[in-house]
A = this chain, B = another copy of it.
Amino acid sequence: MNLPDPLKNIRIVMCTTAHPGNIGSAARAMRTMGITDLALVNPKRYPHPESQWFAAGAMDVLDAARVCCSLDEALAGVSFAVACTARRRDIATPMVDARAAALEGAGLARVQKVAFVFGNETYGLTNEEVSRCNLLASIPVDPEFFSLNVAAAVQVFCYELRMACGGALPAERPPQLAALSEVEAFYGHLESTLVETGFHDPRQPRKLMQRLRRLFGRVRLHTEEVNILRGILSSLVRPKSRTRGTES
């Protein structure tokens, strides 16, 4: 079964947004996360040059945004709606955090349209609007400072949706670690150098080599790094010391 990209089935709905800049910022936040379907319910000032300014390059999202007269109109074709809200309600709708809502929404969006609904900057979503939704979702905030900007909230939800869709970073070429035998040879070189320079006395070892092994073991040395370290070690011991046995 070849299912579509769930992010294409996610709709962001902004209700009675007051500041046109927030609509632009939200469009940009959506676009960076690969979400492009925006519906605006009775925006106070729209269209407006500030929306375009804050959208940066996400003009395609703004251009395609639908302006609706009601939340019902904005939810046309949607099977599951999440009310994004900062405050608890006396409504029986279950409440989860943004991550859980994104996981459920992204899962459902594999086969149907799913909406995330955001309210006005000052008073949030009305109870009437929340009652249209299946789930209440909230971003955990400092209980002493509740003032999350609506475009920042859109950013967090869209980010969580991308993460929920397996939005991992493009695979990085894993580093080429030095072979353990190369690292062992380095430890041998290190120990003999420390003996030769006088720092390490094998008769009173004080767990020194064990500690150094622990340190370099955490580093996960690359081949070229081993080469650099051994170059440094070699530079510490002058040729005359290396041939001490033949000194006069």
Contacts and interface: CB of A to CB of B under 8 A. Distances in A.
Taking the full assembly, how many copies of this chain does it contain?
2
| Interface of A (DSSP majority class) | loop
Contacts of A172: 88, 95
A170 interface: yes
A142 interface: yes
A105 B162 CA distance: 22
Interface residues of A, number: 43
Contacts of A201: none
B95 A141 contact: no
A82 interface: no
Contact of A167 (B140, B152, B159): B140
B56 A149 contact: yes
25 contacts: A28-B147, A29-B149, A29-B152, A31-B147, A32-B141, A32-B142, A32-B145, A32-B148, A33-B141, A33-B142, A34-B141, A56-B149, A58-B145, A58-B147, A92-B222, A94-B175, A96-B169, A97-B168, A97-B169, A99-B163, A140-B167, A142-B162, A143-B170, A152-B152, A155-B156
